[in-house]
Amino acid sequence: MIPDRRREFLAGRLAARRALRSVGLTCGDVPRAGRRPVFPPGYAASITHDAGLAVAVARPPGHTGPAGCDLELGRFPLEAARLVLREDEEAWLHDAGPALAPARLRAVFSAKEAAWKALYGAADGAGSGSGDAAEGGARTLRDLYAVPEPDGGGFRVRRRGDDGVDLRVCVCPVAAGVFSWVRMVGGAAVDSGAGYV
């Protein structure tokens, strides 16, 4: 890894250790399989980093529900919408008008990314999902369907074509971007701890 990428990678692992410690597990280095973190049995965690900042969330054993989080500090050009949304989701984006649409796109991208990590344990992500997106039929973020919460605090996200349980993803403004995390699965709250570097 180039030095900046290595620092970010190590900061993510340190944030994960802190998050795991906050839910009762004292651990040393977080092992990995390739780039993917490997968390202890019974624990679910997720790591995200952007622009030199790393954040992680962890779920204690005995609590159901996946862990997923995402940090996005950069701007999103509207041309990127086709990589994140399908036509049935785009009306919400364009209703905001040209001044707010990029911020909305960043928010929905971050929410879908957190959900993806929770569902599939994406590389450099959760380690709490199945680890195989193809298993659930999802290959890209467009294969997840996001509906804004009425209070504006996040999204309900689920696999397209799956009438299963929605993931409730909270999206919180931070600095010049957003931080998203899975807070509920269906109607059940997901207890978690956090760490950051």
pLDDT, one tens digit per residue, over 127-149 is 444 455 555 556 899 999 999 99
User: 48-85 pLDDT, tens per residue?
Assistant: 999 888 999 998 887 767 899 999 998 888 999 999 99
Strand partners, 53: 50
Residue 170 banded pLDDT, cuts 50, 70, 90: very high
Where residue 39 sits, what CATH number does that domain have? 3.90.470.20
Q: What is the DSSP letter of 56?
A: E
Location of structure tokens 């207890």: 191
Nearest to 39 by CA among 53, 55, 19: 19
Taking phi first (over 0 means left), then psi (-120 to 50 degrees means alpha), and beta for anything else, what does residue 70 get?
beta
Count how many domains the chain has.
1
Provide the whole-model pTM: 0.86
Give yes or no for residue 90 having a pLDDT over 70.
yes
Full residue range of the structural domain in which residue 186 is found: 3-196
Q: Say what the pLDDT of residue 41 is.
A: 84
* pLDDT value for 96: 84
